[in-house]
Amino acid sequence: MKSSSENSVKSSGGYEKSPVARFRIYLRLEKSLSPKTVEAYMSDVHKFREYLREGGKDMLEATLEDFRAFLGALNDVGIQPRSQARILSSLRSFYGFLRVDGFLEADPTELLRTPKIGVRLPAVLTLQEIDSIINSIDLSKPEGQRNRAMVEMLYSCGLRVSELCNLKLPDLYLSEGFVRVTGKGNKQRLVPLSSRAMAELKAYFCDRNHIEIKPGYEDFVFISERRKKSLSRIMVFHFIKELAVLAGVSKIISPHTFRHSFATHLLEGGANLRIIQAMLGHESIATTEIYTHIDRTRLREEIIEHHPRNRAGLNKKVEKV
């Protein structure tokens, strides 16, 4: 084992860096993580370093018992198991790096067990509850049809609220029955549109055409009647809560509830799990893999066959915007 982690070591470029500093460079350059993610890793590493310092130990001298005691200390101060698991994940990455880079002969975290995390299942709305929420929307209000289209898009397409708010007109391919969604990490995916969603969008565009939209926001699909520009996530959260109350739905819901209901209903209807993962844009399935291995025609057929909105027989085509 090399000398203390506080001591500097020569890098291949000839300058000196401590193991902790070299880990930061590794995360940024070799792992290509974002600055925010790198700082999260480093914050967890620093927490453990400070804990060891209080006991007069160096990070390269840490043992399995030190990690167990550290997790115990986190638990004592009220850190939840989920956060403990995240911190432990950062430390495992750090010590894995130290072993590979030659600072340690063995990884002391290998035998450390991850804290058990209780599974919290999000609420799932029934189709009847979703229809009740949509039917509770007052169409006499200027924003009524817009809200109907938004709720339908959240449910029929399984969109995240940020994806809904950032949706733009060029992303809609109504004649083909698809919407292009830009998700986390700017990754794009194609999601089939139900005939119900297309019908609600078509009705909304009749109202949207009368809004004097502020410059720079003309391409956004969903526009605030009052502010004349795109909607914020907070605004969507607020009106979803109001609709749930009006519809008499007692479950605690958010825009994400419709996304989870979308996936649950597809699964219950017999849809292929891989198709569902692709439609949700989960990071575990690369975008290129979606479009290389899943035929778009088959993908659309899978959603049309298993989604409740499409089994209702509303399969009319709507012209492209």
User: Long-range pairs for 150-153 at CB < 8 Å and ≥24 separation?
Assistant: 150/222, 150/236, 151/240, 151/243, 151/258, 152/194, 152/196, 152/197, 152/200, 152/309, 153/179, 153/197, 153/200, 153/201
Residues annotated catalytic, as ranges = 160, 184, 256, 259, 282, 291
- The secondary element (H helix, E strand) that includes residue 190 is strand 188-192
Q: Is 253 exposed, middle or buried (0-12, 13-18, 19+ CB in 10 A)?
A: buried
Strand partners, 190: 180
Instruction: Specify whether the CB–CB gap between 197 and 156 falls below 8 A.
Output: yes
How far apart are the C-alpha atoms of 317 and 315, rounded to whole Å?
Answer: 6
List, in order, residues 6 or more apart from 68 with CB less than 8 Å away: 112
Helix 127-135 / helix 233-247 crossing angle, nearest 10 deg: 100
CA dist 34 and 40 (Å) reads 10
Evaluate the CA torsion angle 311, 313, 319, 321 in order and state its sign.
negative
What the block records as the tokens of 217 is 């926001």
Count of other CB atoms within 10 angstroms of residue 257? 23
